Structure formats: C-alpha cells, structure tokens
Structure 1
Amino acid sequence: MRTALVIGTGLIGTSVALALAGRGVTVHLRDHDPTRARTAAALGAGTDEEPAGPVDLAVVAVPPTHVAATLAAEMRAGAARGYLDVASVKGGPRRELAALGADLSAYIGTHPMAGKERSGPLAGSADLFDGRPWVLTPTRDTDTEVLNLALELVALCRAVPVVMDADAHDRAVALVSHTPQLISSMVAARLETADETDVRLCGQGIRDVTRIAASDPAMWVEILSANPGPVADVLSGIAADLAETVESLRALQSADDEKRQGGAAGIEDVLRRGNAGRERVPGKHGAAPAAYEIVAVHVSDQPGELARIFADAGRAGVNVEDVRIEHATGQQAGLVQVMVDPAAAPVLAAALRERGWSIRQ
C-alpha cells in the first residue's frame, strides 16, 4: 500500500491516518468539515489535498448511517482499488450498500476494537490500535486483493486481525461495547441530581464504571441506531437480572428468616455469575486475567512522581503489569496502585520504602 484516502477525520479516521502516514503511506484526508481535515493534516496525518488519481485503499470512517452512501459514491467515482469502512456496526451498512447496487467484491467491512471517551481529530493517536483486535468481515464476494489490502492496513496499524461474520460481529459488540456504554451512562445519570455531599464520596469504583459515560451522545445515538435489536436483546437479559436483584434486596428487609435467606441467595447468585463472567475477559496479551498483587503507594500531585515510581520499580527488577490512580478528595495527593506478580510484591514494597516512598499495607 502506497496511497490511501481517509474519509472522516474523527478519532478513528485520524488515528488510522496517523498510523499509515507514520509508516510511509501517502494519506489524503477528507471530511464534511474541512476544518477537521486540516487539523488532522496539521497533526501529521497526511494532506487535505485531493489525490490526483485512484488510491490503493479508501478508508471510510463516518457514522454507520452514512457508511453505505459514502462508499457507494466513492465506488462510482473510482476513488480506489479497494474500499473498507471502520464503523462499529457491520451487517446493516453491507446490506444497504448491496441495495444501492454497489460492487461488493471491492469492499470489506472492518471494525477496529479500540477507542476513547474523547472524539475528534485532536484525540487521534498513531498507537491507538497497537495490539487491539481488528475485525474483518469478508464474504465470498470479497476480492482477494481487497482482503490483502485490509490485512496490510491492520498490520500497519499494529492491530490483530479477527475474521467474523458481519451479523455475528454486531451481536458481539452489542454485548461487549454498546450495552456497557448504556449501562455506564445510566449509572452516571444517577449522579446528575445527587446531593453534592454524596458525590464527594465517589471513589475508584464509580470512576471505573462511569468512565465511558463521558462519550459523545450524538456519536452513540448514531451507533445504537444502527444496532438496536441486538443491544435491546442484551439489555432485556440485564433487565431480568435487575428485577430479580431488586426482589432479592427487598427480601433482605423482610422479618421472615426464610425470605431473607432467599434474598441473600439471589444476591450471591448474581455476584458469583459476575465473578465467572469477569474471569472470561481477556487479560494481558489476550490470556486469562492474572491475579496480581497490589502495592499501594502514596504520592503527591507533583510532576514526575509517576515516572519516579516506575523508574524505582525498574531498578528493583520488577515489571509493572498494570497501574491505577485513586485521587484523594480535596487534597493534592493520591494513591497509586501498582499491580505486579504476587512474588514480586514484597520485593517492590521493600525497594520503594528504601527509596522513601510511603506504602499503604
């Protein structure tokens, strides 16, 4: 691949363009808002000038409801040798494209499983896709050359290709992406009218659950409008769990011992099923999640403090597997939870104490 056209310079489009441009591909940028294309170009994602002729690959990075029409227009114009989109829904756009009479042999639907709660070109990053799954949904009509171009794109973005059926993909993302967005937003919505004293008690748990609730509502209306059925199916199951959980909690208030025991059993059941489901979420390198030990370090809110912790861990020969930061309410300080292999935890704790860090047991 020597040339590419990226249509849509939001988070995903700009990140694709930055990755390709960084690996020597000449990237042309286009957006319905020319200012966004110019911003992406200024970031080093390519040029906002139109290509002189057909490019090797056209990457359509627009909302799902506009994917088919955009692809069809580019195909009619002969803009590229191959065409793909990066929308988060795959079945609907492909059927719409077929209904428009487009040549599906030149097209493949794809979806990089990466993102942020921020959007727009300024949120773009060349390493956004590093090590992340990138779904490809070829059909029997897909030309081999187009599939190879898509695989080359995934490789240049340092992602991991995953081949799926388009409708199976849509059911999967309803479970692992679209429904979590709605649940996060629903929990965060409870905070909107909460008492200020209650909100000041927010800890890491509520921050974890509501992080993605900061996402752009307009963007998510577009996504959910393209995949409403599968999302509704998942939410229906969650609604059943919620109804049973509410009933169990009410039973815990009963004066009847048997009802209270039944309520406790119902709560334990949903928590245990949650444990089992969480254990299936892939951890580091896609393997089953490891049980790490946490070394909690008090830090002041000063430049370079995190870097010093990581450097001291490196000097101790300890690999940091993950890290979490919990900010202290109303203080210029916080707690850094450094996650390491259990055998390395005492080594790290001793090394950090020796270097003057305050360790919380």
Structure 2
Amino acid sequence: MNIGIVGLGLIGGSLALDLRSLGYQVLGVSRRESTCQIAIERGIVNDASVNLSLLAAADVVFICTPLDLIIPTIEQLLPHLSPQAIVTDVGSVKSPIVTEAVKIWPNFIGGHPMAGTAESGIDAAQSNLFVGNPYVLTPVKNSTPEAVKIVGEIVRSLQAKFYLCRPEEHDKAVAWISHLPVMISASLIGACLSENEIDVLELAQNLASSGFRDTSRVGGGNPELGVLMATYNQEQLLRSLFSYRQTLDRLITYIQQGDWNSLADILQTTQQARPQFLSSKEL
C-alpha cells in the first residue's frame, strides 16, 4: 500500500518513520525542499517532493498540516488523487474539519493522534511516538465501512489505542482534557506576571519548581496552535471554560468564608478522580 503524508513535521515525520518500517511505501510532501531532502536522507520516506502530484499513487493520504491548512490542502490535492483514495487528517478539532472535508472528498475520515512532544519540525520526528497513546477516528454517517477499516488497520499497526467516536463527541472531550488545560495554563502564567512587586516576581520565578513546571507546561507552547484550537473549537472550549470558572468561583468562596471542610471535600474528590483520566498512564 502507498501512503502519502502532507506535512513532514513532528507528527507527519513520525508517522512516516513508523509506517515505512512496517513495510508501507511512504510518499511525503513538504513546502520546503530542504525538508524533503532530510526526510529522504534519514530514510523517513521512500520519496518526497514539494509537489502534491507525487501523491497520485497514494492509496491513503494523511494531512499533517496545521488546522487552518487542512481544507485548503485537500482542495489542492483533488487533481492528483485517485478516485479510490482515502484521505484522513491529524487535526485536534474534528467537527468543522470533517464537515467541510467530506463535501470536498467524500472518502475522508477524520483522525486525531493524541501524541506529541514540545519539539517541532522534521528533526523532531521519532519512531514509536504513537505506541500506547490514543488515536481517534471520527467517521460520519456516510463514511464507508471499508475506508474506516483501512485507516483503522493502519492506526492499529502503530500500536496506538484505537477509538471511534462522532466528530462532535471528540471536540467536547478534547475541549476538557486538551484545549481547556492550555487556556488554564496560560492564565496561570499570566496571573503570575501580574505581580507588581518586582522582587516578589523574581523570587517566584527563582523558586518555581516541579509543581509550576507541570501546571504551566502547555501554556508555554506555540501561541499559533492555541489560537487555532480556540478558533476551530470555540463553542466547546467556551463551554468548558465557563464550567471551569464556576468551579474556580466556588473555591474562592470557600476560601473567603474559611469553609475548609467544603474545600477539603473538593480536593478529596479531585484526588480520587484524577487517576480515572490517567488510567494506564504514568501518574
């Protein structure tokens, strides 16, 4: 089977590495000629080009671009795709992408691997990035069972944890566990920067340790990615933010009133609930 990958960054490059090692013929497309050369020299792909015409031979194409480029990329791919080709993506928001993509190419299956690192670009590509991590496919009513089966088999071959759900279910879920944490983490950093006593701010920066590092990590990521997830998942992110604000207001009230028993109840509940979100993962 020939697999095309558009976008040879961390996710696209890592997909290519693993799929080629599994025996697939991998064809990569990047905007930069230098990226294509690196991908070929490192053995990440069998062939690479800056031209989408390379993917005319692809049976399945993974779109591994930023969210705002997924639909334009599919449109540009149309003249080059074989009629039976399956197109999928790796975007972190599904409903708006899937809705538009299936209008352009009915044989589209939305996808989202929940894996990554803080690094980016072709140099960050690594083997086994998806092993043990969730990989979600979001077919719709008109998706063909054969297309879902083929992409699902590819996902399973990566040794990822395979899930199927509706696009809107995916977006609600990731709003809670991925997009909301980015906004909370960014708010934490922003709140700390509001300290107007320079000596205190510098002391806080010097004393910051693992607790601050863990809770602020995603807020220190790529700003463009944060804006894109908010743009494309606005409704569900706002839904989760409003709920978070209500919970935070309740904590403020308990602390203002010295209601330590109610505060302890919440902290005990969250302590017990956390492992349910991290089952089989390192706590």
Q: Sort the TM-score into its range (normalised by shorter chain).
A: 0.7 to 0.9
Tell whether the 8 Å contact from 1:65 to 1:222 is kept in structure 2 after alignment.
yes
Q: In structure 2, the residue corresponding to 1:5 is in which secondary structure?
A: strand
Q: In the TM superposition, what is the alpha-carbon distance from 1:178 to its structure 2 partner?
A: 0.7
The alignment of Structure 1 onto Structure 2 pairs a total of residues equal to 273
Letter in 1 for 2:78: M
For residue 63 of structure 2, the aligned residue among 57, 60, 69 is 60
Letter in 2 for 1:63: P
2:23 paired residue number: 24
1:102 paired residue number: 104
For residue 87 of structure 1, the aligned residue among 82, 85, 91 is 91
1:312 paired residue number: none
Tell whether the 8 Å contact from 2:4 to 2:55 is kept in structure 1 after alignment.
no
Describe the superposition over 1:287-339 as per-residue Cα deviations: whole angstroms up to 9, x where unpaired. xxxxxxxxxxxxxxxxxxxxxxxxxxxxxxxxxxx69xxxxxxxxxxxxxxxx
Measured in 2, the distance between the counterparts of 1:264 and 1:15 equals 48
Relative to 1, partners in 2 of residues 1:37 and 1:232: Cα closer, same or farther, differing over 3 Å?
farther
Alignment of 1:57-206 (within 5 A): 57-79=60-82, 81-98=85-102, 101-104=103-106, 106-192=107-193, 195-206=201-212
- Post-superposition, which runs of at least 4 consecutive aligned residues in structure 1 deviate over 4 A? 191-194
TM-score (norm 2): 0.88
Measured in 2, the distance between the counterparts of 1:120 and 1:196 equals 33
Measured in 2, the distance between the counterparts of 1:108 and 1:11 equals 21
Tell whether the 8 Å contact from 2:27 to 2:55 is kept in structure 1 after alignment.
no
1:14 paired residue number: 13
Relative to 1, partners in 2 of residues 1:212 and 1:118: Cα closer, same or farther, differing over 3 Å?
farther
Pair 1:272 & 2:276 matched: no
Measured in 1, the distance between the counterparts of 2:246 and 2:155 equals 39
Q: In the TM superposition, what is the alpha-carbon distance from 1:28 to its structure 2 partner?
A: 1.4
The structure with the greater share of residues assigned to helix is 2
Pair 1:228 & 2:234 matched: yes
2:48 paired residue number: 48
Pair 1:246 & 2:256 matched: no
Measured in 1, the distance between the counterparts of 2:56 and 2:104 equals 20
Tell whether the 8 Å contact from 1:29 to 1:37 is kept in structure 2 after alignment.
yes
Q: In the TM superposition, what is the alpha-carbon distance from 1:32 to its structure 2 partner?
A: 2.7
Pair 1:219 & 2:225 matched: yes
2:2 paired residue number: 3
Measured in 1, the distance between the counterparts of 2:230 and 2:238 equals 10
Tell whether the 8 Å contact from 1:118 to 1:214 is kept in structure 2 after alignment.
no
Measured in 2, the distance between the counterparts of 1:24 and 1:36 equals 22
Tell whether the 8 Å contact from 2:58 to 2:81 is kept in structure 1 after alignment.
no
Q: In structure 2, the residue corresponding to 1:139 is in which secondary structure?
A: coil
Q: In the TM superposition, what is the alpha-carbon distance from 1:91 to its structure 2 partner?
A: 0.7
Describe the superposition over 1:184-234 as per-residue Cα deviations: whole angstroms up to 9, x where unpaired. 222233444662222222222112112223321112211221101101111
Tell whether the 8 Å contact from 1:86 to 1:112 is kept in structure 2 after alignment.
yes
Letter in 1 for 2:9: G
Relative to 1, partners in 2 of residues 1:5 and 1:244: Cα closer, same or farther, differing over 3 Å?
same
Letter in 1 for 2:132: G
Gaps of 5+ in 1: 253-262, 287-321, 324-361
Alpha-carbon RMSD across the aligned residues, in angstroms, is: 2.2
Measured in 1, the distance between the counterparts of 2:202 and 2:55 equals 58
2:33 paired residue number: 34
Q: In structure 1, the residue corresponding to 2:39 is in which secondary structure?
A: helix
Higher relative contact order (CA 8 A, sep 6+): 2
Relative to 1, partners in 2 of residues 1:213 and 1:123: Cα closer, same or farther, differing over 3 Å?
farther
2:198 paired residue number: none
Relative to 1, partners in 2 of residues 1:271 and 1:219: Cα closer, same or farther, differing over 3 Å?
same
Q: In the TM superposition, what is the alpha-carbon distance from 1:247 to its structure 2 partner?
A: 2.1
Measured in 2, the distance between the counterparts of 1:128 and 1:151 equals 17
Measured in 1, the distance between the counterparts of 2:185 and 2:37 equals 33
Relative to 1, partners in 2 of residues 1:240 and 1:174: Cα closer, same or farther, differing over 3 Å?
same
